[in-house]
Structure 1
């Protein structure tokens, strides 16, 4: 198990820059990794991770992290659309937002939302595919890439979801994802579990906004600690993590940890 000292070295919390200047001006200029255009990033707030919209595509700091990692990992140009060969099959676990809108041009792109229990995986609801990450309907070894951005904290059994992602990835395939992560906490902060078919709350209820059910929000089950890395390695993944600071790509602040879980070839 990683010690707290080791976790501090792996995931340093020191600010990369003094972000107060960014917040004060609210503006950066650069190339947006989501739309691939030179643009201006505006309206940064103290929540740097979720603000700073691209004037052209509306992407936030967090969405740009995902796009930047995809471009770099697959050697795609920083300028222009995110484009993969026709044979490349990849899955995004959300069907909304600026990144989704830009990925839709790819012939091998698949996306979904979760519409609740009672729907079989792959069912089309209001023109959107339904999938439960804990029991995906995709064939084993069928996907080159899976993308999830702040989704796994809303899954009751997140490591069941990771096992499913491992199953559906081709050898050499990758899961690029973000999730609430505390690098100074060894164990996951499990806030709720299901026991005997009922939700048992272990901490104060916490909800995030939900584009599918905006009036309800979605429950946070887990905030992840360093043990997430070890558990993914136990499942068979090779795991890497980065704290991104790329102001020229509209990525600032010191809470920009992004993960890559690779299924060995």
Structure 2
């Protein structure tokens, strides 16, 4: 009975809800309260590792590249100085739609050194010019600030570029298109521009980060395994 409970249930480290195994896939362990997946819980565990001991943690300035979901709710509770946004195709960055600010991570409207922590989950594989986006994150971070995020990361040496825009602004597919989903555009509507490999560390350092770590948090209690979380420090 003990092993059955350990293998099929857990406690969510984001909301203390009950995690239930719905299927045998990595995403199959879901919190029945906040609906977190192992991705959300892994990045939450990593954020706690770096910020739990910080004095006046609620005053840490944070920017999250989404406005909904389990991680967003966790950040809302943990940090009172939370800024968040979405990317809307039909809205100018810095303006609002339905009360949510639009931001393009390739051209953020925030001032230099605005945040101590920037977070995102499964975003940068969809950014056309990820190096430009990484440089923007460096710019808006305070000195020694951290960018803690996830992408689908393959344990291979080199990132595979799937698509890009040419000098005339035309979309060029190098490989057959791969689409992911999001809560705004729906399933299979968001193009993946690349499949990241372990050289993401070099890409981040090229963008200006001083140190980069690929963390691999693991917790049977929280049903977290096999998810890499990237921690880049300015």
Q: Output the TM-score relative to the length of structure 1.
A: 0.80
Distance 1:143 1:101 in 2: 18
Shift of 1:125: 0.5
Instruction: Indicate yes or no: 2:222 matched with 1:249.
Output: yes
Runs of 5+ in structure 2 lacking a partner? none
The answer as to whether partners of 1:90 and 1:145 remain within 8 angstroms in 2 is yes
- C-alpha separation in 2, matches of 1:241 and 1:215: 28
Question: What's 2:145 paired with?
Answer: 173
Matched, 1:70 2:53: no
Classify 1:144/1:74 alpha carbon distance in 2 versus 1 (closer, same or farther; 3 Å). Answer: same
Aligned length: 228
Is 2:10 the partner of 1:29? Answer: yes
Name 1:108's counterpart in structure 2.
81
TM-score, length-scaled by structure 2: 0.90
- Residue 52 of structure 1 is matched in structure 2 by 29
CA distance in 1, matches of 2:47, 2:110: 21
Q: Which residue of 2 aligns with 1:210?
A: 182
Per residue, is there more strand in 1 or in 2? 2
Aligned to 2:19: 41
Deviation of 1:217 after TM superposition, in Å, equals 1.9
Q: Is the 8 A contact 1:28 1:247 kept in 2?
A: no
RMSD: 2.2
Superposition deviation, residue 65 in structure 1: 0.6
Deviation at 1:225, TM superposition (A): 1.3
Q: CA deviation at 1:215?
A: 5.5
Task: Verify: 1:233 aligned to 2:211, yes or no.
Answer: no
Q: CA deviation at 1:235?
A: 2.5
In structure 1, the partner of 2:65 is 93
In structure 1, the residue corresponding to 2:186 is in which secondary structure? coil
